[in-house]
Amino acid sequence: MWITRVVSAALLTLGLAAGPAAADSTPSASPSDDSAAPTSAGTSFRTATEIDQGRTATANASAGDYLYWSFPADTGQRPTVRATVKLPAQHAAQTWQIDVYDGLRRRQACQYGAQTRTAAAGTESVELACVLRTVRAWSEPWANDPLPGTYYLRLTAVGVRTADLGQPMAAEVRVESKDMGGAAAVDGRLAEPLIPGVAMTQRQDEAEEESGASAVLSAIEPDDGWSSGWWSDRWVWTASGAVLAALAGIGGYALTRGPGRPRHVPPNV
């Protein structure tokens, strides 16, 4: 009887723990409606066009231009950046490249993916991809780890003949993330996500100063807001392990204690 109860409780605990873990490993849902996606790109970090993850942004430009987009990435996400460059029918060999920078404008390395590709002469399009490292909730000041905040995507041609400069081209970019769950969780968190630039109020008179008005951070953020950084499914597995250890102790005691001691019967007088 004790064994049955212990096994049942253990299976129930594992089921409860596996539920959140399975949910964390599922990629975030991406909106299917791209009607509101941007149709232009910025030309610098300051003018980068904001895009949401899961939507395809487009832009028309010329070979040799620098195209910039920005997107939010939160704790536990592993972003994947994809870009497609559509080229004119007549062109020489061209090399295109995508680079990703964090909110401090530090270039982030790609784990894998074709970050740089060369389109042969006459090729209609070229596809690029960059899978970043998992975004951490906290990192040492000297480290170059990805942190939650704004990320910049830059698309440009790094090898174009002078005769091809200025030729029309079209670009499509899309960012998607996979939630890595508690396996990538770390202790600590940032006080604020790395969102560069502030939107200052136009009027900064004495009344605003007395009322405590302050600069407002950029509006770019994930749909469900920024994560606090302290919660992960590691808490679920830790609690489950503690419960299972307690149940195992109770079950072991019940199996090894043996039959109950008989009551003391006084001798016959």
Render pLDDT for 235-248 as a digit per residue (tens, 0 to 9): 666 777 788 888 88
The neighbour count for residue 169, using CB atoms within 10 Å, is: 25
Residue 149 belongs to what domain range? Answer: 26-179+190-217
What CA–CA distances, in Å, run from 189 to 136, 239, 246?
8, 22, 32
The confidence score (pLDDT) of residue 179 equals 85
Where does the pLDDT of residue 28 fall: very low under 50, low under 70, confident under 90, or very high at 90 and above?
very low
Dihedral of the alpha carbons of 27, 31, 34, 35, in degrees to the nearest 10: -170
Question: Comparing C-alpha atoms, which of 199, 232, 220 is closest to residue 72?
Answer: 220
pLDDT of residue 21: 39
Greater confidence (4 vs 176) lies with 176
Angle at CA of residue 54, ends 52 and 59, nearest 5°: 65
Examine residue 152 and state whether it is found in any structural domain, yes or no: yes
Q: How many domains does the chain have?
A: 1
- The C-alpha atoms of residue 48 and residue 42 are separated, in whole angstroms, by 4
How does strand 216-217 pair with strand 49-50? unpaired
pLDDT exceeds cutoff 60 at 29: no
- 96, 116 Cβ separation under 8 angstroms: yes
**Is the confidence at residue 30, as pLDDT, over 80?**
no
Looking up residue 152, the CATH number of its domain turns out to be: 2.60.120.380
On whether residue 109 sits in a domain, the answer given is yes
Q: Which residue has the tokens 């195992």?
A: 248
pLDDT given at position 217: 44
Confidence of residue 258 (pLDDT cuts 50, 70, 90): low
Residue at 56 is within a domain: yes
> Which has the closest alpha carbon to 43: 235, 171, 199?
171
Contact assessment for residue 57 and residue 37, using Cβ atoms and an 8 Å cutoff: yes
Flag the least confident range among 90-104, 124-138, 156-170, 241-255: 241-255
Position 23 confidence tier, pLDDT thresholds 50, 70, 90: very low
